[in-house]
A and B are shown apart, each in its own frame.
Chain A
Amino acid sequence: MSKKLYLDNAATTRVKKEVLDEMLKYFDELYGNPSSQLYELGRRSKEAIEKSRKTVADFLNAEEKEIYFTAGGTESDNWALKGVAFANFNKGKNHIITTKIEHHAIIHTCEYLAKFGIETTYLDVDRYGLIDLEQLKESIRPETMLISVMFANNEIGTIQPIEEIGKIAKEHGILFHVDAVQALGSVKIDVQKQHIDLLSMSAHKIGGPKGIGGIYIRKGTRIDNFIHGGGQERGRRAGTEGVQNIVGFGKAVEIAKRDFDHHIERLTVLRNRLIEGIKNNIPDVVLNGHPYTRLPNNVNFSYKFVEGESILLLLDMEGISASSGSACTSGSLDPSHVLLATGLDHGTAHGSIRFTISEEITEEDIDFTVETMKKIIAKLRAMSPIKNDEDLKKN
């Protein structure tokens, strides 16, 4: 197999050529420290950062001074939660509401905050991965300081009703944080319309470099600074800026904005072709996530009676890269917390495979993937002692 098919774009993406071209001169030509404002080399770096900041701000309908660059989505999530918690928990606010399907950057941070007496409510999701707005309302307490809900899920692609959640948060005077790492560039984000106070982003999910991301912090939000040091990022996130990375992030956002409609339209067609192809060609599969309120690049199925790591190894032999929610691939004993939260039994969750496509993928690639999966699943099922749903449910 000579052709390589990269179908793991929710893990990371190839840096776009235009992005790389834009970044390169900030390594060896325009290498000034943006804090060195007394000579041109420094000023040029500063200008480049501010240009990126404006691009990102415009894309979210935010103001430039509300955008801060960070090391990525995980840092932004940490800043949002710890920053809000530490700024508010001495004022009688000790409660956070989030969901059971958040990224570990949120869940593990909430678990850490418990050390300081901060309680977290984890909202349930239905079988499609959607939260229940009534349960959200019922979970609100006088002490609730923050609601944190991801815009779209990284594993199953389900898109939450962010605007409705934002309204509820606003009505109750509670801050609203949105982890938009997977949604950026694939879903319309408007922090005003959607009443978002804090929003996490990452560059490498949209064709930008790794190690850079950002956070939107609505002006006036009560939140502590995160990295203490020099005066960078208006004194709120210290450390010499990774200028070339910020430039790359800005360029990736500029492209995402430029190609937005086309990107969604094209990927949705390919995604649906893959979903239909798998559904129509392979028996005993379960689509994970919402049938249509889902990211345009995400296809996640569970293949009953087989295990995910085996599928991934056989896919790799055919040149296809994907990912799985199986315990074998997570390094833990349990399959994905997201799949379990949607009500899947462990056995079925172990057999899940996520494909996340990009603009580089063609219809032929999709059809090849379906054909390959058909063969792989048949091969593994032939050697599985589990033959039906009853076997699967045992224990």
Chain B
Amino acid sequence: MYTETVMDHFRNPRNVGSIENADGVGQVGNPKCGDIMKIYLKINDDEIIEDVKFETFGCGSAIASSSMATELIKGKSIQDAVELTNKAVIEALGGLPPVKVHCSVLAEQAVKSALYDYSQKTHKAIKGLENYKPEEDEIHCH
């Protein structure tokens, strides 16, 4: 059902954990739908993502998507990170079953949410996040 890469990232997830005094923290999803992703960013003065950690409650593909998303943005500029799409996550994972595509969407959203938190804290506008809205209260499971 899952590709080798998905299983590898599920079995040995990269960047698990949290960052104390993170420069940006984003959490998306909710327990009702069965998946939550939380991403912590450490961003340096050159606006490079020096470190990234994640915590995820969810199925195998949710954990693998979080792991892959953190790998894809680690060491990148915040501008590169904001351009991360769920498609890129899926491609890097070698594909996801159609019913699990929402896991990659959640990963993209979690990264954006953490970057949004950073821009709020630092009052720095990030190009591409102008229209970003943090999750609304209403729940829609995907």
Contact = CB atoms under 8 A, between A and B. Distances in A.
B16 A382 contact: yes
Given A313-B10, A317-B11, A331-B99, A384 B57 contact: yes
B31 A309 contact: no
Contacts of A395: 30-32, 139
B34 A383 contact: no
B63 A392 contact: no
Contacts of B126: none
Contacts of B95: none
Contacts of B60: 309-310, 313
B27 interface: yes
Q: How large is the interface on B (under 10, 10 to 19, 20 to 34, 35 or more residues)?
A: 20 to 34
A328 B34 contact: yes
A375 to B, nearest CB: 13
Given A313-B10, A317-B11, A333-B141, A385 B56 contact: yes
A386 interface: yes
Contacts of B32: 345-347, 395
A346 B63 contact: no
Contact of B31 (A310, A317, A328, A346): A346
Contacts of B35: 307
A383 B31 contact: no
Contact of A383 (B7, B33, B59, B63): B63
A346 B34 CA distance: 8
Nearest to B141: A333
Contact of B13 (A326, A333, A346, A383): A383
B38 interface: yes
Interface in B51-107: 54-60, 62-63, 99
B111 interface: no
A394 interface: yes
A306 B57 contact: yes
A383 B56 contact: yes
Contacts of B58: 307, 310, 328
B36 interface: yes
Contacts of B36: 384-386
A242 interface: no
Nearest to B11: A317
Given A384-B57, A386-B36, A392-B31, 14 more contacts: A307-B59, A313-B10, A327-B141, A328-B34, A333-B141, A335-B34, A345-B32, A346-B34, A382-B16, A384-B36, A391-B31, A394-B31, A395-B32, A395-B139
Interface of A: 305-310, 313, 317, 326-328, 331, 333-335, 345-347, 350, 382-386, 391-395
Interface of B: 7, 10-11, 13, 16-17, 27, 30-38, 54-60, 62-63, 99, 139, 141-142
21 contacts: A307-B35, A307-B59, A308-B59, A309-B60, A310-B63, A313-B60, A328-B34, A331-B99, A346-B32, A347-B34, A382-B16, A383-B16, A383-B17, A383-B63, A384-B36, A385-B36, A385-B38, A386-B31, A386-B36, A394-B31, A395-B30
Q: What are the 9 tightest A-B residue pairs by CB atom distance, in nearest-first order?
A: A347-B31, A309-B59, A328-B59, A385-B55, A395-B30, A385-B38, A350-B34, A346-B32, A384-B57
